[in-house]
Structure 1
Amino acid sequence: MSTATTTPPVLRLPGASKELAARLADGLARVEALITERTANEDDFITEANRHLAEAGGKRFRPLLAMLMAELGEGINDEVIAAAAGVELTHLASLYHDDVMDEADLRRGAPSANAQYNNSTAILVGDLLFGTASDIIADLGPVAVKIQAQTFIRLCSGQIRDDRPCPDDQDPREYYRGVLADKTGVLIATAARYGAMFGGASEEVIALATEYGERLGIAFQMADDLIDISSESMEMGKMPGTDLREGKRTLPVLNVLASDDPADDELKELLLGDVSDDAVLARALELLRAHSAMEAARAETIAVGEGATTVLADLPDSDAKSALIALAEGVVHRAG
């Protein structure tokens, strides 16, 4: 089976005109070319490992967002392309580390980096890609470097917190939302921020681009968490129920665990226990998919996405604004 059939397609943007769509397609091709150029190494094995996840596919969501935000200013230019590539390489680098942490076998329908090589190689290649991303961003000036560093701090902090249980003195659902803001929201916010900055937008537009991006990033991860439960196939390039198997408490799970309804006792017992057995996991997914906790989590996901579009309300109408609204709608409705 090819990776093209297992990797989610690029989100459609019904709000984009043919002219905008053509500029975005050209921009994405330039980002891909820059990533290919900068991941080349004199050692063929390093080149192959650098490009392993990039060539497995992906939506290139972050570069797309950066270019859309540039359209709110003077448009896509070489600096926007470089920033978009830097953000995408940062994202790809984080996936190498994620796969080691999660002991994953698949990523985007292809063997994960740790499965293809080994844990040590996956970690080192992730580090190498972080370095490559930082090298690209460094050419954009000290402000861009500072943003990259602050983004990386939050990204790693979010991943650390995601790998640990919620502290007893904190609300689990608030803790979850904070983790999403750091581990996913911040990098998508940076993509939006860079696009507006290097696209020549005003300081006001840069600020709203950043806020839109973070809200969109949270909704993006919430939707992914829902798909992990609701999907009955490998829509995400990984097996359904992966988060449950790994013991991750996403919003639907937290909603169930907060219930005091005796009817939820069986599901709560399953969610708090060992679901490594396929039959146990299947039963937990069956009960969770039919539970009102899913609808509550889906409603919150949609509300967060709508909050992102609200940020754009005062912008004048344009192809880019319409496309950004469509992008947010596309993100949240991947959950249903």
Structure 2
Amino acid sequence: MTTSAAGFVLPSGFDPLAEHGRVLEAVLTALERVEEQLTASLEFDDVFSQTATRHLASAGGKRVRPVLTVLASLLGDAGLAEGQVGEVGPETRQAAVVMELTHLATLYHDDVMDEAPVRRGAPAAHRLWGNSQAILAGDLIFARASQLMAELGPRPVRIQAETFERLVQGQLWETRGPDEGQDLLEHYYRVLGGKTGSLIAAAGVLGAYLGGADETAVQVMADYGEKVGLAFQLADDLIDLTSSAEELGKTPGTDLRERVPTLSTILLARAAAGEGPEADDARRVLALVDGPLDTDEQLAAAVAALTAHPAFAEAGALTRRWAEEAKAALAPLPESVVTEALAAFADYVVSRAS
């Protein structure tokens, strides 16, 4: 774990820059300022508006999207070949703030739709102020993010608009479910690409573009970010089954209880559709997963059975494969401390515990 003098902490398990002091200093300095700007961006004359919109921002978070925005911006630094970097520019920092604001806004909406009681260890906004006010707080954050992005020029505005469209489509696809005859796994990846991959890809693209990288690097970050985003969300699904409530900031097994399809349950259902003893075992586990999950005991039994089944290990292997594909997407870029950091970032998203 790396902590700056001002107290900003890089995500636990992600420490690829420790041996590159000047690069590390540039990243941490930028992220400190991003954190300050994030708080300042949610300043409103109305007391409730400020309280509600800052609720989740002040609860913490991994800041994955700002970290990636800052890292990607270093691809355009003229001194990179010599291992030297300058200060991360104000436009990049502002884009990093917008990426985190956009993410925060989606959480307000997601928690209403999922009826989630807790987020980041704090009561979900709708539990404090009701559904309507929580949704409006999320909308207000989106509005502030759009104002900040409008200052960065036409291309960043278009990237944000296209990303917002994909975010909403991803949620629609998840809500509606797969089309008739559509493969469930294909549908699931499509949902994740919209809900998670699109915003993480946008973070990488904006960082590279605003940092002055060439168009090749910008397009590499689009591909890399999409794949890292899928790996990140797939890992989240696994973590939901294996981490404690303290690590998660919410109840483990929430996806099972809410009947949200995940890679593990999709692979389990596929196994149950076969024949023979292995299929019988999968059907036994599926009966627990699909059965009543009203009590903590029922949920714990279903979680234990699912994590012990080979479908869970297969889901882990597929998750790591997405991370490897993200790393492979970096191949067109010259090797540097930044590409090393981006590769380590892909490893981090699938190896973290929360």
Equivalent residue, structure 2, for 1:109: 121
Asked whether the 8 Å contact 1:298–1:335 carries over to 2, the reply is no
Gaps of 5+ in 2: 1-8, 78-85
Asked whether the 8 Å contact 1:223–1:335 carries over to 2, the reply is no
Shift of residue 169, structure 1, vs aligned partner: 0.8
Asked whether the 8 Å contact 2:184–2:266 carries over to 1, the reply is yes
Asked whether the 8 Å contact 2:323–2:350 carries over to 1, the reply is yes
What pairs with 1:15-30 in structure 2 (closer than 5 Å)?
Answer: 15-16=16-17, 17-30=20-33
Query: Which letter does structure 1 place at the counterpart of 2:345?
Result: L
Equivalent residue, structure 1, for 2:339: 321
Structure of greater relative contact order (alpha carbons < 8 Å, 6+ residues apart): 1
Equivalent residue, structure 2, for 1:289: 307
* 2:103 corresponds to 1:91: yes
What pairs with 1:88-237 in structure 2 (closer than 5 Å)?
Answer: 88-237=100-249
SS at 1:235 equivalent: helix
SS at 2:59 equivalent: coil
* 2:72 corresponds to 1:54: no
Shift of residue 282, structure 1, vs aligned partner: 1.4
**Compared with structure 1, are the counterparts of its residues 144 and 154 closer, same or farther at alpha carbon in structure 2 (3 Å cutoff)?**
same
Distance 1:52 1:175 in 2: 33
Shift of residue 28, structure 1, vs aligned partner: 1.1
Shift of residue 304, structure 1, vs aligned partner: 0.2
Query: Which letter does structure 2 place at the counterpart of 1:120?
Result: S
* 2:34 corresponds to 1:31: yes
**Compared with structure 1, are the counterparts of its residues 273 and 161 closer, same or farther at alpha carbon in structure 2 (3 Å cutoff)?**
farther
SS at 2:58 equivalent: coil
What pairs with 1:237-252 in structure 2 (closer than 5 Å)?
Answer: 237-252=249-264
Distance 2:29 2:330 in 1: 25
Asked whether the 8 Å contact 2:247–2:353 carries over to 1, the reply is no
Give me the TM-score of the superposition, normalised by structure 2: 0.90
Give me the TM-score of the superposition, normalised by structure 1: 0.94
Distance 1:120 1:26 in 2: 38
Deviates more, 1:162-171 or 1:281-290: 162-171
Number of residue pairs matched by the alignment: 329
Shift of residue 328, structure 1, vs aligned partner: 0.6
Distance 1:90 1:233 in 2: 25
Shift of residue 122, structure 1, vs aligned partner: 0.6
Asked whether the 8 Å contact 2:220–2:332 carries over to 1, the reply is no
Which of residues 281, 289, 303 is equivalent to 1:271?
A: 289
Gaps of 5+ in 1: 1-7
Distance 1:14 1:38 in 2: 28
Deviates more, 1:197-206 or 1:20-29: 20-29
Deviates more, 1:44-53 or 1:193-202: 44-53
* 2:73 corresponds to 1:73: no
Q: Deviations over 1:23-46 (max 9, x none)?
A: 111111111222222210111221
Query: Which letter does structure 2 place at the counterpart of 1:224?
Result: D
Asked whether the 8 Å contact 2:89–2:211 carries over to 1, the reply is yes
Asked whether the 8 Å contact 2:243–2:353 carries over to 1, the reply is no
Shift of residue 272, structure 1, vs aligned partner: 2.6
Distance 1:137 1:100 in 2: 26
**Compared with structure 1, are the counterparts of its residues 121 and 109 closer, same or farther at alpha carbon in structure 2 (3 Å cutoff)?**
same
Distance 1:127 1:144 in 2: 20
Deviates more, 1:165-174 or 1:80-89: 165-174
